[in-house]
Amino acid sequence: MANAKAQDYFRRAEETLKVANARSGAVMMELLAQVQAYAALAVAAETLDVQD
């Protein structure tokens, strides 16, 4: 019985970690997209010789 409870606990913990990793992955992808957009704007501004 204790072994079954332990297995269930670890299975749930593993599922929680998978969800957390998926969420943090999505956050990292969003941040990367923002950085890429900023870099594209910086390149465009430089190309157009926009003053700060």
Task: Note down pLDDT in tens along the chain; length 52 residues.
Answer: 678 888 888 889 888 888 888 889 888 888 889 999 999 988 888 888 866 5
Question: Distance (Å, rounded) from C-alpha 16 to C-alpha 23?
Answer: 11
Q: Is the pTM of this model over 0.85?
A: no
Q: Give percent helix, percent strand, percent coil of the chain, each to the nearest 5.
A: 90, 0, 10
Tokens of 51: 């003053």
Three-class DSSP category at 19: helix
Residue 50 neighbours by CB under 8 Å, 6+ apart: 44
